[in-house]
Amino acid sequence: IVELAIKYDKLIDVHCDETDDPHSRFVELLNALVLMEDYGTRTTASHTCSFGSANNSYAYRMIDLFKKSKMNFIACPTENAYLQGRQDTYPKRRGLTRVKEFMEEGINIAFAQDSINDPWYPMGNGNLMNILDNGIHLAQIMSPEVIEKDLDLITYNGARCLNIQDRYGLEVGKDANFTVLDGNSPFDVIRNRARVLASIRKGEYLFKQKPIEYEVELDLGVNY
CATH number at residue 152: 3.20.20.140
Q: Answer yes or no: do 121 and 64 share one domain.
A: yes
Please give the Cα distance from 185 to 199 (Å, whole number). 18
Do 201 and 95 sit in the same domain of this protein?
no
Report the pLDDT value the prediction gives residue 108, as an integer from 0 to 100.
99
In a domain, residue 222? The reply is no
What is the structure's pLDDT at 223? 64
Q: Is residue 218 part of a domain?
A: no
Given this model, what pLDDT does residue 213 score? Answer: 83
What is the 8-class DSSP label of residue 195? Answer: P
What CATH number is attached to the domain comprising 199? 2.30.40.10
Please, are residues 40 and 71 in contact by the beta-carbon 8 Å criterion? yes
The span from the CA of 216 to the CA of 108, in Å, is: 45
- Crossing angle of the two packed helices 26-36 and 56-69, in degrees rounded to 10: 30
pLDDT less than 70: residues of the chain? 222-224
Burial of 131 (0-12, 13-18, 19+ CB in 10 A): buried
The domain boundary residue, chosen from 168, 183, 218: 168
Residue 12 domain flag? yes
Mark whether 102 and 199 lie in a shared domain.
Answer: no
Task: Check whether residue 201 and residue 132 sit in a common domain.
Answer: no
- 193 and 91 fall within a common domain: no
Number of compact structural domains in the chain: 2
Residue 141 inside a domain? The answer is yes
Last residue of a domain, one of 118, 134, 168: 168
**Which residues are paired to 73 by β-bridges?**
45, 109
Residue 161, H or E segment? helix 156-161
Domain boundary among 118, 152, 168: 168
Q: Could you tell me if 179 and 164 lie in one domain? A: no
Same structural domain, 130 and 54: yes
195 and 95 in a single domain? The answer is no
Query: How much is the pLDDT for 217?
Result: 79
Domain range for 197 is: 174-210
Query: What's the CA gap between 164 and 162, in Å, rounded?
Result: 5
In a domain, 52, yes or no: yes
CA 17 to chain centroid, in Å, comes to 17
Cα–Cα distance for residue pair 69/55, rounded to 1 Å: 21
Report the catalytic residues.
18
Q: Which of 195, 199, 160, 159 is nearest to 179 (CA)?
A: 199
C-beta atoms surrounding 145 within 10 Å = 6
| DSSP one-letter code for 34 | H
Is the separation of the CB atoms in 208 and 201 below 8 Å? no
CA dihedral 104, 108, 109, 114 (to 10 degrees): 180
* Residues 105, 50 share a domain: yes
Residues in the chain: 224
Indicate whether 104 and 17 sit together in one domain.
Answer: yes
For residues 143 and 195, state if they share a domain: no
What pTM did the predictor assign?
0.92
| Beta strands at 178-181 and 196-201: parallel, antiparallel or unpaired | antiparallel
Tell me the sheet residues that pair with 208. Answer: 198
List the strands of the sheet with 204-208, edge to edge.
Answer: 178-181, 196-201, 204-208
